[in-house]
């Protein structure tokens, strides 16, 4: 199986931007139920700027630099809780592969783990707090346990498990983020960040399958 | 409900552009266009006061940048904390060599972003302290966990009054903390606000319903119930706030009625009247009254009551002279 | 839309009670409870300035009673001229021996009632003059036939600035007339206001429609059309107002964006931005900007643009110091 | 035919108050179409106070005094255009029969004419301007031409003609009052004051028929 190059990641990021646009109103609606109804909008604002930045990205930007650019752009443009969380996710993921022009599947798993670690370091949430970590954490475990011989299958399982994790947020009482103030009233609603995160990660799969 | 906007994605930038064009004698945009800063900082260096949060709460935060009030405001997307770079750039713009105080409502997104901004400023050797505003009684049991709503303005006034004396950062921070410790709010919403980007409300609410304990971002409150007459709503709010702050006969307070944007002043004064009468009946003295749209949620129909337990020091701070486009006294 | 009221029949009285309770240091009710008057009139006798009209436009009229601003406001039922007795009683309350000036928007109901009040005052030997405010461009071809909208505040400022110098009634009246002659407004409404007594809107309007030329009482405008982006709406307004006032490159103006109550400040500043840019492009200098809810129609979603052609005298009047709860500068 | 006494008029005024209440929303709706939507509300506010005043009216108040009380109350409480117009209508009508404890049908016709004259004196409107005068003026002509022998029939014709006059305002372009600014847009709508005036005058008939 071939390694992942810069063009692959750029294509993934463009696909993420489309995903953010397509799901904007859905994420916003989910956030309206238990948050402040801006999640989809802010992700859309952020990824619109990501596309602008990618359109002008210097040819000599490597993979780490591309991830940094995306992370910084989200950090600058998204705001709220998800701006710093998604921002450091991408920045830290990229920092794992400094100076590489291609990354292996194992590198990619390391990158995603580093990204998720940084979400946890910044946001201090635990599994079961009804946040995007409820998608990422079980998903990553599956990804890391998967057979490295078939990255496509492994990433597909990863995203499927993330989606399952997002479904599993529905019955939870929120313990972090804006929804935490709702207490029991957050039960019965999906966490918006858990939804956006599996849908964004799904872009790795879709771009591979293309 | 309807808005009068161009592309909703441009709303924040266009508003900021309009604001500094209208009030160019008082404020300008810093290099970072999400930072509104005084055209000229004080001639006597003072602690830089930085007030911020999401947009959509106008006149909060930008309307309170001015002479003797905030030195800079950092503005996020609608209902969304500003980003860390903007928070950092606000420090650069507002610092006068005596350090800066971040004042903002206690929301996790804001804490994440402002803290990153403060870290960057610390790397530059600028001291930044933070006071999280936590006045919204209904949002959490522990005072320190509560979110910030219209009490933002009260805490700002206290901090600025002390900063204007030339006091150091610790003293200014202590004043803000004292004001915050004594500030209690609670509100109701009768409608959702309308988001510029989607043109849609954040949530649905029945024609006869109200949401009790609604925040100023449209986060659901704690209870949805049938809309009641203004006096009954005020009584319900006071029944929760007064015991929570343990207000006693003989004490003195400031009362703020904060309109969320879509509620007419007529209704706000009718609400004020009830609060005034109930407090007076209880033997509480009202030393200062503020009624109006201090911290809105765009077009949301709703209001909140803010009570501030006063002593002579706090009273002095709240009666200090201020001169910003939306706070003159 | 929803309101937060008790019995709608009590709304005006309860609002007035709440208002004087909140601002008891500045105003009180006269014996006639529809008259809001300064707690203490000026130490130097001056022409009594009486501002009035229906309620439901808050902060107009009562919010402009204060130090150096109006001496009294006479308040009618919602959207309804005050009665003649109240107009007369306002004169009694505000007269300081130098006569009084009635300032109100040009509506037939108001003229009928204020004129009767003035006749009664004349019987008492108190001279009362009247300046009808006629700023609403879209409401009639002849300037003198137009109705008064947010320009009320501009004319009030001019009259008060001159009254505060101790000038006589003729001079104060002349100042008000000069301000009125130079003040031009036009607005749009996106929704009806909600009447306190019925809890219902005055008129229906489609979800994508706006009413061009709507007055601040909910009288139908002149044209109903599809809602457009803010910039396009501002352009349309300016395309009518600028030729009407024959504004030329090199001239100086004051610009007021008046929110009708339900329109967020965000939208108002976006509107301001366009007006500013268009005027600047045209070579017109903006010497003063005012943005906010100066003359509302309760919860109506809408706004108006007011332009004032300035000369040095008018500019001086509009920049005079004022200190009323809703006009401090 | 018996003359009209104070009790008759008090009963008429109470009936007018009920009429104002019943038709409040209808008058308000008419005024919403071409005015500012307050006509019914203001008349209701005014007549609620009239009832309060009548409840406390001193026994020695004569007919003129009763009319004056009603007129003054409307003048004080209604405001707008219709406050002074209806207020002076009743005050001037009463002034025609000072010191009388009963009034004849001819007196009544004189009173109504005096009242309408005062509306015209205050409001300076003409027939065809689309105001309450479009009910009153043709109605009064009929009333004055009617056979005095049957006041009931005469008053019925009077009100019928007023109603017709109100119908006739529908196609008119308003020339007075708030609706005048609408120009052509006022066409196709009934003038609210022409409606309230015939319905209020109808109370004379109804009370007679009781
Ligand atoms: N402490 C946290 N750790 C991990 N994820 C979090 C945390 N707080 C919030 N989130 C995620 O962020 C999402 C909300 O993002 P967004 O709506 O953009 O931010 P905000 O709450 O500031 O409006 C939540 O659905 C949740 O998944
Ligand atoms: N000049 C006038 N002469 C006679 N009637 C008038 C005149 N102006 C207005 N009216 C009547 O008053 C009615 C409106 O009354 P109302 O709604 O209470 O007053 P406003 O227009 O001040 O809100 C109109 O429908 C019309 O019949
Ligand atoms: Mg959110
Ligand atoms: Mg948010
Ligand atoms: Mg009216
Ligand atoms: Mg009317």
The nearest alpha carbon in chain B to A78 belongs to B83
Asked if B225 is an interface residue toward chain A (Cβ–Cβ < 8 A), one would say no
Under the banding of pLDDT at 50, 70 and 90, the label for residue D1 is very low
Average pLDDT, integer, range C34-61: 96
Angstrom distance (rounded) from CA D98 to CA D101 = 9
* Residue A2: pLDDT band with limits 50, 70, 90: low
CA distance C87 to C64: 17
Average pLDDT over residues D100-129: 96
Contact C11 B270 (CB under 8 A): yes
- The secondary element (H helix, E strand) that includes residue B3 is none
Spatial distance between the Cα atoms of A189 and C2, rounded to a whole number of angstroms:
28
- Kindly report, residue by residue over C209-240, the tens digit of the pLDDT: 999 988 888 777 778 999 999 999 999 999 99
Please report where in the chains the tokens 């309807």 appear, as a residue.
B2
Contacts of C197 in chain D (CB under 8 A): 41, 44-45
Specify the pLDDT at position B263: 98
Q: Which of C3, C190, C328 sits opposite B4 (nearest CB)?
A: C190
- Identify the DSSP state of C25: T
Asked if pLDDT for residue C303 goes beyond 80, the answer is: yes
Alpha-carbon separation of residue B137 from A102, B101, C75, C282 (angstroms) = 53, 24, 37, 52
Lowest mean pLDDT among A151-155, C318-322, D47-51, D175-179: D175-179
**From C23, C38, C57, C98, active-site residue:** C57
pLDDT at res. A205: 97
Given the CA of residue D134, which atom of ligand 2 is nearest to it? 27
Residues C279-288 have a mean pLDDT of 98
Question: Which tokens is C108 given?
Answer: 């037939």
Nearest CA to ligand 2 atom 16: D39
The Cα diameter of chain A in Å comes to: 51
> Which among A34, A35, A45 has the least Cβ separation from residue B77?
A45
* Amino acid A177: pLDDT: 83
Q: How far is B89 from chain A (nearest CA, A)?
A: 12
The rounded Å distance from CA A80 to ligand 4 centre is 5
- Catalytic residue from among C217, C237, C253, C308: C217
Mean pLDDT (whole number) for C22-30: 98
Which of D177, D179, D191 to mutate to test ligand 2, by most ligand atoms within 8 A of the CB atom? D177
> Distance between CA atoms of B68 and A42, rounded to whole angstroms?
33
Can you list the alpha helix ranges (DSSP code H) found in chain D? 6-22, 24-34, 39-55, 63-77, 82-95, 105-123, 133-145, 151-168, 192-209
Q: Which residues line ligand 2 (CB under 6 A)?
A: C 80-81, 108-109; D 31, 35-36, 38-39, 42, 80-82, 85, 119, 123-125, 131-133, 176-178, 191-194
**pLDDT value of position B269:** 99
Q: Which residue of C has its CA nearest to D186?
A: C220
Active site residue C276: no
B172 burial type by CB count under 10 A (0-12 exposed, 13-18 middle, 19+ buried): buried
**Ligand 4 centroid to B80 CA: how many Å?**
4
Mutate to test the pocket of ligand 2, among D20, D24, D39, D166 (most ligand atoms within 8 A of CB): D39
CB–CB of D79 and C202 under 8 A?
no
Which one of C56, C108, C197, C198 would you pick to mutate in the ligand 2 pocket, going by the greatest count of ligand atoms within 8 A of its CB?
C108
Angle value at C-alpha C166, between C161 and C171, nearest 5 degrees: 70
What local confidence, expressed as pLDDT, does residue A183 receive? 84
- The residues of chain B scoring below 50 in pLDDT are none
**Domain residue limits, chain D:** 4-203
Scanning every residue of chain D, which has its alpha carbon at the shortest distance from the alpha carbon of C111?
Answer: D81
Query: Distance from the CA of C80 to the center of ligand 5, in angstroms?
Result: 4
Provide, as residue numbers in chain B, all residues whose Cβ is less than 8 Å from the Cβ of A32: 202-203, 218
Q: Which residues of chain B neighbour C196 with C-beta distances below 8 Å?
A: 266
Distance between CA atoms of residues D128 and D89, nearest Å: 19
Name the residue among D32, D82, D122 with its Cβ closest to that of C202. Answer: D32
- Three-class secondary structure of residue B99 per DSSP: coil
DSSP string over B207-232: TTEEEET--TT----SEEEE---HHH
The Cα of D196 is separated from the nearest Cα of chain C by a number of Å equal to 17
Encoded tokens for C2: 């929803």
B-C contacts (CB, under 8 Å)? 181
Task: State pLDDT tens for residues C146-168.
Answer: 999 999 999 999 999 999 999 99
**Centre of ligand 6 from the C-alpha of residue D39, in Å:** 5
**Across chain A, what does the average pLDDT equal?**
95
Identify the band that residue D185 occupies on the pLDDT scale cut at 50, 70 and 90. Answer: confident
pLDDT at A90 over 90: yes
Neighbours of chain A (3+ CB pairs under 8 A): B
Query: Residue C86: is its pLDDT beyond 90?
Result: yes
Closest residue CA from atom 22 of ligand 1: A80
What are the chain C neighbours of B212 within 8 Å (beta carbons)?
Answer: none
Q: For residue C50, give the H/E element and its range.
A: strand C48-55
The predicted structure's pLDDT at residue A80 = 93
ipTM given for this complex: 0.95
Q: How confident is the model at residue D2 (pLDDT cuts 50, 70, 90)?
A: low
Of C230, C266, C277, the CB nearest to B58: C266
Contact flag C112-D182 (C-beta cutoff 8 Å): no
Residues in a beta bridge with B37: B28, B72
Give the Å distance between the CA of B270 and the centre of ligand 6: 24
* A16-64 residue pLDDT tens: 999 999 999 999 999 999 988 899 999 999 999 999 999 999 999 999 9
Answer yes or no: C217 catalytic. yes
Is the pLDDT reported for residue D210 higher than 50? yes
pLDDT, one tens digit per residue, over B265-290 is 999 999 999 999 999 999 999 999 99
Contacts of D176 in chain C (CB under 8 A): 108
Residue C90 CB partners (closer than 8 Å, separation 6+)? C30, C32, C35, C37, C50, C52, C72, C73, C74, C100, C117
Cβ-contact C172, C103 below 8 angstroms: no
Question: In ligand 1, which atom is closest to the CA atom of A31?
Answer: 17
- Give C54→chain D minimum CA distance, Å: 8
Residues D180-187 have a mean pLDDT of 86
The per-residue pLDDT for A1 is 47
Is the per-residue pLDDT at C171 higher than 60?
A: yes
Sorting pLDDT into bands at 50, 70 and 90, what band is C292? very high
Contacting residues of C for D41, CB less than 8 Å apart: 77-78, 195, 197-198
Average pLDDT for residues D137-159, to the nearest whole number?
Answer: 97
Which CATH code is given to the segment(s) D4-203? 1.25.40.340
Cα–Cα distance between B21 and B39 in angstroms, integer? 12
Tokens of A124: 């201090």
């Amino acid at each position: 199986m071939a390694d992942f190059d810069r063009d692959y990641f750029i294509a993934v990021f463009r696909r993420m931007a489309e995903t953010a646009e397509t799901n904007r109103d859905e994420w916003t609606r989910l956030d309206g139920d238990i948050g402040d109804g801006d999640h989809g909008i802010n992700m859309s604002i952020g990824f619109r700027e990501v596309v602008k930045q990618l359109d002008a990205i210097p040819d000599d930007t490597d993979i780490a630099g591309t991830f940094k650019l995306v992370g910084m752009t989200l950090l600058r443009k998204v705001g709220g809780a998800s701006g710093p969380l998604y921002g450091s996710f991408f920045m830290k993921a990229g920092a794992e592969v400094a100076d590489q022009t291609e990354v292996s599947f194992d590198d990619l798993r390391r990158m995603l783990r580093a990204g998720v670690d940084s979400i946890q370091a910044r946001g201090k949430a635990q599994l079961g707090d009804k946040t995007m970590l409820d998608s990422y954490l079980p998903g990553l475990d599956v990804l890391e346990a998967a057979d490295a011989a078939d990255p496509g299958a492994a990433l597909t399982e990863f995203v499927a498990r993330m989606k399952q994790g997002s479904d599993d947020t529905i019955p939870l009482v929120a313990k972090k983020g804006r929804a935490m103030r709702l207490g029991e009233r957050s039960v019965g609603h999906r966490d918006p960040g858990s939804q956006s995160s599996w849908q964004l990660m799904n872009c790795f799969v879709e771009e591979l399958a293309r | 409900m309807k808005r009068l906007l161009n592309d909703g994605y441009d709303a924040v930038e266009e508003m900021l552009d309009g604001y500094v064009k209208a009030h160019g004698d008082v404020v300008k945009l810093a290099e970072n266009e999400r930072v509104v800063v005084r055209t000229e900082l004080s001639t006597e260096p003072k602690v830089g006061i930085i007030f911020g949060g999401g947009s959509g709460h106008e006149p909060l935060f930008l309307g309170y940048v001015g002479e003797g009030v905030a030195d800079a405001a950092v503005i996020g997307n609608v209902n969304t904390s500003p980003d860390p770079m903007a928070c950092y750039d606000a420090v650069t713009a507002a610092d006068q060599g005596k350090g800066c105080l971040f004042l903002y409502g206690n929301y996790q997104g804001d804490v994440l972003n402002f803290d990153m901004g403060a870290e960057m400023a610390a790397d530059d050797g600028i001291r930044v302290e933070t006071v999280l505003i936590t006045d919204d009684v209904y949002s959490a049991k522990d005072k320190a966990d509560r979110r910030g709503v219209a009490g933002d303005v009260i805490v700002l006034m206290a901090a600025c009054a002390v900063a204007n004396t030339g006091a150091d950062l610790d003293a200014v921070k202590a004043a803000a903390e004292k004001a915050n410790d004594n500030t209690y709010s609670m509100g109701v919403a009768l409608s959702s606000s309308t988001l510029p980007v989607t043109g849609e409300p954040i949530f649905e609410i029945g024609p006869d319903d109200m949401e009790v304990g609604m925040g100023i971002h449209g986060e659901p409150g704690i209870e949805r119930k049938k809309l009641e007459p203004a006096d009954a709503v005020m009584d319900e709010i006071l029944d929760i706030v007064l015991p929570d702050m343990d207000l006693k006969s003989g004490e003195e307070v400031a009362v703020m009625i904060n309109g969320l944007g879509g509620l007419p002043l007529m209704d706000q004064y009718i609400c004020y009247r009830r609060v005034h009468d109930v407090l007076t009946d209880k033997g509480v003295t009202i030393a200062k009254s503020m009624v109006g749209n201090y911290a809105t949620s765009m077009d949301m129909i709703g209001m909140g009551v803010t009570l501030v337990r006063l002593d002579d020091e706090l009273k002095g701070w709240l009666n200090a002279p201020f001169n910003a486009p939306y706070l003159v006294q």
